Structure 1
Amino acid sequence: MFALNATSSRKARIAFAARDGENGRVLPRFLRRPARFFAKVFDGEIVIPRFVEPVGLVGIFAATALYGSVVSGQFGGAAERVTAALGFAVNEVEVSGHRNTSEVAVFEALGLDEFTSLISLDAAEARKALESLPWVETATVRKVYPGKLEIGLEERRAFAIWQTGETLSLIERDGRVIGAYGGAGFASLPLVVGPGAATAAAPFMEMLSRYPRFASQVKALIHVGERRWDVRLANGITVKLPAEAPEKAVERLMAMDEQTQILSRDIASVDLRLEDRTTVALTENAMLRRAAALEARAKAIKASKRSSI
């Protein structure tokens, strides 16, 4: 048995129920106060108002509905619609820093519609979704309550057009592919062709930039055997450079052009692959003209010999 400090007999019964004799069970501490409360209710010491019952039923039904929504995965959508209806719907989107990324692509990436709530929108997830777009390098997402979304984009920079087979792609300086080449706005970019050209083009073009008179004429770069380069100039001439020390070959070509204006002539290619020899190939028209000139020369020689007899 144990002592009771309360004066009420009802309180004494509650305390006694907590320990049923010396060998009785002891209620856990967190259950003792609820047990005392319900004992008072059952004994009539506490009177519950009549309106509590319907309110309690409503609460039970609401809790059941909430539990069902959570279990079925519909709670997020319901919460989003409720907060949107309360005035937190995204009704203004400000996009900045985009040139090649359309606003439609931004909206689709974020899944925005008239029911999108600014409260339920996850800014970190939105940023990841935007950075998955082809042109987007980095993105920032800022929520301005009650209904404005500010989006800042930093786009990737196209360095060249890379051709593999019949496929044309826009690439960055490090060779990463941005996306398919669409033609508009990128026609001035150099064309790099062949396997390995995407990653090898930047250092090679940096070398060519030291010879601006030559680099300004470059139209396309063809990576041959992933070892060396053929340079196609804007006038159609192909310059074949060696795999080793191509800069020396370019210097030799520049010295030759200074003396003979070889790059302004009607030729098809200049082969600089051998250090001690330069081979020049004429165009088909130039070959025809050369053949005609040789034939005319031969006739003139014959005519001069006949006249001298």
Structure 2
Amino acid sequence: MTDLNVRDVIIVGSGPAGLSAAIYATRAGLRPLVISSSAAGGQIATTDLVDNYPGIEDITGAELGQRLWDHAEHLGAEFEFDQVVSIDRREGGSLFEVVCEGGSLRARSVIYAAGASPRKAGFAGENRFGGRGVSYCATCDGMFYRGKEVFVVGGGNTACEEALYLAKVASSVTLVVRKDHLRAMRSLRDAVLSSPMIKVRYLTRIEGVEGESLIERVVLASVDALGVPTREELSFAPGGVGVFVSVGQVPQSAPVCRLAELDDQGYVVTRPDMSVATPGLFCAGDVRATPLRQAITAASDGAIAATSAARYVGVLGD
């Protein structure tokens, strides 16, 4: 007799990987439950403009995420808002127990697509002024700095995207780059370097931010052309400056760390079919070790993971 309280598959995460998995799982005949702790689309929802998703030339991240969510829901996927704490094997290894803050759920298979969260830069005052001058999302918080000066920490694709977005609203943008070059793709580099609103400070880092309730001083540490270290303290009116940190991601792999192999950066190591060492567990998207983390690759991961899960539970043949 089938236990209706046991899901065919539980999908953790509502980014492109998780929602793509939900779409493919329902089409394969599974009954997926998506556990989401964020808005539709996950981190993609915080992206101002997505212009590299095939077939869609110009769309906001929030709209793309909502379209994916609506598609999965239309096909029959169910959703629950909760935070996953851990995932374990139960009942002789035949079922998974997904432990959430709101309770426990059981499933024959799990697709873990919880993604990654922003990495902190580590400067003094970063934690203290989080949400009060220090931010990790330009599209989320950029409007609070309309007409103000902002700093963006980082030199990769996301940092350049953040700087270009902030250049639309801030009075000036300073991109603080530790290295002597930008690591972003050429189109982004060219856009940043040609923008009159963006100043790039190479071989520079933020040493700290200071103030009372809001940031009033930003301390920069640099190396000049002769290799001599310099220290510069910039003063602002309280609340007149913002610091946006964009220095990479931290994979949210803790709930599956006992069930899957992690690489030296904490990303889940998967096989080509998105499976891991524990049978029935599949990982997809930004949480796994992959050479490219984009919406399109995450969606592809989700499709593969769902198809693999369907085969695992016996819905699809080999």
TM-score, normalised with respect to structure 1: 0.22
Larger radius of gyration: 1
| Larger RCO: 1 or 2 (CA < 8 Å, sep 6+) | 2
Q: Higher strand proportion, which one?
A: 2
TM-score, normalised with respect to structure 2: 0.22
Q: Higher helix proportion, which one?
A: 1
